Structure 1
Amino acid sequence: MSQNKQHDLDKECPICGGIIWGRGQPTIIEGAKIVVCQNCAQHGKKIYTPQKKTYPKGSYPNQKRSVPKQSYRSSKPELAIVNDYSNKIHKIRQKNNLTQEQFAKSIHEKESLIKRIESNKAEPSIELAKKIEKEYNIKLIDEANIIDVKTDKYMKKKRASTLGDLAFIKKKKD
């Protein structure tokens, strides 16, 4: 097994301690940006980062590419959907006297998606939230407040630490 594939199997969820299959879900839980399993992602705000366009080798325009500085990367805001998005969407739809079908057509989406969003079974993507914000003048996207947590000085274990381990150490220090 290659080193990269072995690394993917060793990911551990910092909340439940379970194995993270796949890439994991970047989430903000109590102000900290962490990558958790899909089950634990529902306990916080999911973070969506825009995908960069990739060019095949040799097809990238011949321009000098400058390497962005560290400060540029940290100043880029990360976007998150507000917690009560389903209520806000439902209220704005009712306020405009629209059915779910009419609302979906007005933003060029499927009615089934609007039903799932309003029943809180699905979360709108950042693109969809921007469409709804533009069309109906409501606030669905929020800048995420991120706190970088450094566990190196607290943890001396060989395996990855969980949030439960950090809470125990903090409680023990008091």
Structure 2
Amino acid sequence: MASGYDRALSVFSPDGHVFQVEYALEAVKRVIWKLHRYLRRWRKGQGHRCSSCEKRSAMKLQDTRITPSKLCLLDNHVCLAFAGLNADARILVDKARLEAQSHRLTVEDPVTIEYITKYVAGVQQRYTQSGGVRPFGISTLIVGFDHGDNVPRLYQTEPSGIYSAW
């Protein structure tokens, strides 16, 4: 029972919830996805990441070559998997790719997994408080290897902007 508390982003309900963020979490809960395993680098330095998502059967008229994927490459060493609304994910992935490219051009090093995760979570958090926009209806897993490091990194972000390492 929202009763008027879900009309604005910055209005809290009497029990301390922001309903717009909870609606975004509901969009995430409708999608089933799992990260199964993470493979180690090969001897030549090639990083391989293995993730899996629910694969829906294609309809007769659907062109499977242009169907959006739930796995996106942000940089050559960072992959983002998401659950939720595809349209929201496209916006967030474009912003993350632009930040990764900008970081590489400015600092001349690839982004760290934690840095790009903080950036994605920051964008998600800003959209929970800004006027004229709504929270992103996606939750993400960001996976990859940091530059010069053989340790796999895995982070999760939520629509509220919270992120955590696994």
TM-score bracket for the superposition, by shorter chain length: under 0.3
Give the structure with the larger helix fraction: 1
TM-score (ref. length: structure 1): 0.21
| Structure with the largest fraction of strand | 2
Larger Rg: 1
